[in-house]
A and B are shown apart, each in its own frame.
Chain A
Amino acid sequence: MASKFETLHGRITGNGTRTVVLSHGFGTDQSAWDALRPALDAHFRVVSYNLAGAGPNGEASYDPRRHSSLYGFADDLVAILDELGIDSCIYIGHSVSGMIGAAAAAVRPEPFRRLILIGASPRYLDEPGYEGGFTREGLEALHAGMAANFQAWGAGFAPAVVGVPGHKAVDEFCRTLFQMRPDIALAISRTIFQSDMREIATRLERPTHIVQASRDVAVPMFVAQWLHRHIDGSTLDAIEAEGHFPHMTAPDEVLRVIERRLDLAA
């Protein structure tokens, strides 16, 4: 049987004794790390993979039941760490991978030395006293749009969520988004937006660094502050950037935060 790492098209680059694990967000694949990767390669052994359902031939790795919750994705992550014998790593997760990493680290803290969560959200829906950024009606409209015409929806969604019209990240996001089979994209999007990982996030005991773009349509600053308040000993770095993909649109700013938080001497 193919290993999880192979099935998820895992890649290893860089030189270093310490390991960084990169896990991308919804609609992208591991190529989303291309801008950050060279700088990380200089310090670390860098492991990346595609989330189930994402990347070329993503449908082969996706199981509608296993991946009906973020825990299924967390199991994939833990399986990869076990396969590669990684007993200590720095985990960098973007968007949904923030909570995938949080879930994995909450239940299997041992291999996670540190976590860096970029644009992470434990709960996307608004509630009294909690500003997730989305209303139930808004989400239903979003999913109805996805279901009706995935391409048209994606073409409209991409510039809005990337936040920097004309940036090459918009094209990149479109490319990787449309790589997904539309029904799988819809199912994963539903899983993400319906998830409530607040409780599990608060169980995170490993040092956690939250990185949040100042104007992100998917994740309001309220959410980043909520995570910061509820994860013991966490740090929050708000970077002056537009959109949900600062690691693609403002990689230098993100890198500066990572370097500072990981004490990487220049």
Chain B
Amino acid sequence: MADHTDGLEALTRFARIASGADIAIAFEATEGGMALPLAAAPEPPPAPFSLGDCRLDATDWRLGAIPAEGVRLPAAVLAALGRPAREVHFIPTPIAEAPRSGILLLWAAQTARRCVCPFRSDVEQGIPILTSVFSQMLSDRRQAMLRRVMSDRFDDLIGSVPAGVLVIPGDGGPALVNPPASALLGLATGENDAATLAQAMRRLRESCVNADALQTTYAAVVADVGFAVKAVWDLGDRQFEVDSHPVQGDGRNGRIWVFDEITAQHRLEQELRRLAATDPLTGLSNRRQFAESGGAMLRQTRADALPLAVLMLDIDHFKSINDRFGHPVGDVVLQATAQRCRAELRQQDLMARMGGEEFAVMLPGVGADEAAATAERLRAAIAAAPVSADELRIEVRVSIGGTGRLAEDRTLDELLGRADQALYTAKRTGRNKVVFE
């Protein structure tokens, strides 16, 4: 951009010297008539002024300079000239979006001596030849200015949003990184070269908990320059919804990445999901979660050709515990039962409260015999010592029915049905015992 300015300034200086004017001002002006001086000789360019006041359009400038009384010169221009004006010349250099642009040449009154160079009038007449060069320079300058204004606005905009934003231009130029994105990626705010940025982004992506899934997601679209993908980058302690899409426009605009932090939502979601899946009293899975996870476990163990066993567990005479001691004590008994069982189970075992005093357990990778031994451990753990509630010490017993998966089992319900049947047998045949089907 500096080149455009320097070129325009040099040409403006040349126009002034060639014409012998005391000041030359190159400005761009839109149809609305506001003139924005871009270069002046001598410097600096005056403040913006309105052409509406000047009546420049009313004169035929092909005939050369006219007395200053013929136009009304803006205060900013006269202030830049520094003395009253005697003559004015205007060379229109219209450009596409600024058709009233041009170069204003002013000769001051009381100029000590006018150049008597014999070529002067030719040179003055020759200035219009420069029109197209001036137009081109004004046009380039305008484009550069617009880009800078847009860039300034863009900086203000992306600097104001809480999301991390980075823009990778399509022309290989430096990428723009706003403050939240720079903090996240460990880069400088503002311009970064594309390679540094790509490296930082890869590093961040690979540090994600879900790096493999992200790798798959992006590998699938990387060949498509127009890809638009929204994915969650899970950094473990923080989560970001990362949106990547091409910048609309003429195709040279590249790609924008927006990192929207969703850690709070993610936590809330996780918590809601946990609450929806959990029995609030015992902290075990609920029936819904058991159906979901149990179904998955059934499919997985079959796929891996591993055995699987299911237990149904029911507290003996729970109704009378409730009746004698009240529901709060009943709740303590349910919690103690859950804790003692959980303590006997492995991490991968699934235990759920199915409702009332009934629990279900899934033991992946465990056959019927081993499961029967586990069931017996559970029963014994509960019977081993009374449960303390307030001042009370309550003897608790449980009945357990169990079954191992058979080759023909297709659904979880089939297994649960058999385990339930075994539990019924245990209840009917004396309680406080384990029965396997």
Interface residues of A (CB under 8 A from B): 63, 65-66, 68-69, 71-72, 74-75, 78-79, 82, 103-104, 106-109, 200, 203
Contact = CB atoms under 8 A, between A and B. Distances in A.
Given A65-B48, A66-B34, A69-B47, A74 B75 contact: yes
9 contacts: A63-B50, A65-B34, A65-B48, A66-B48, A68-B47, A71-B46, A72-B47, A75-B74, A109-B84
B78 A108 contact: yes
A75 B48 contact: no
Contact of B75 (A65, A82, A104): A104
A100 to B, nearest CB: 9
A65 B211 CA distance: 52
Q: Which 6 A-B pairs have the closest CB atoms?
A: A69-B47, A107-B78, A71-B76, A74-B75, A71-B75, A65-B48
A72 B50 contact: yes
Interface in B19-52: 34, 36, 46-50
Contacts of A63: 34, 50
A108 B79 CA distance: 10
Among A75, A82, A103, A108, which residue has the most Cβ atoms of chain B within 10 A?
A75
B72 interface: yes
Contacts, number: 54
Contacts of A108: 75, 78
A68 B75 CA distance: 13
B280 interface: no
Nearest to B30: A65
Contacts of B84: 107, 109
B53 interface: yes
B82 interface: yes
A103 B79 CA distance: 8
B72 A82 contact: yes
Contact of B79 (A68, A78, A200): A200
A145 to B, nearest CB: 20
Among A66, A82, A200, A203, which residue has the most Cβ atoms of chain B within 10 A?
A66
Contacts of B73: 107
Interface string B1-35: 00000000000000000000000000000000010
B50 A107 contact: no
A72 B48 contact: yes
Contact of A72 (B36, B49, B78, B82): B49
Interface string B60-94: 00000000000011111011001010000000000
Contacts of A72: 47-50, 75-76
B53 A68 contact: no
A74 B48 CA distance: 12
Contacts of B50: 63, 66, 72, 75
Nearest to A191: B47
Contacts of A68: 47-48
A82 B72 CA distance: 10
Given A72-B75, A78-B75, 18 more contacts: A65-B34, A65-B48, A66-B34, A66-B48, A68-B48, A69-B47, A71-B75, A71-B79, A72-B50, A72-B76, A74-B75, A75-B49, A75-B75, A78-B72, A106-B79, A107-B73, A107-B78, A109-B84
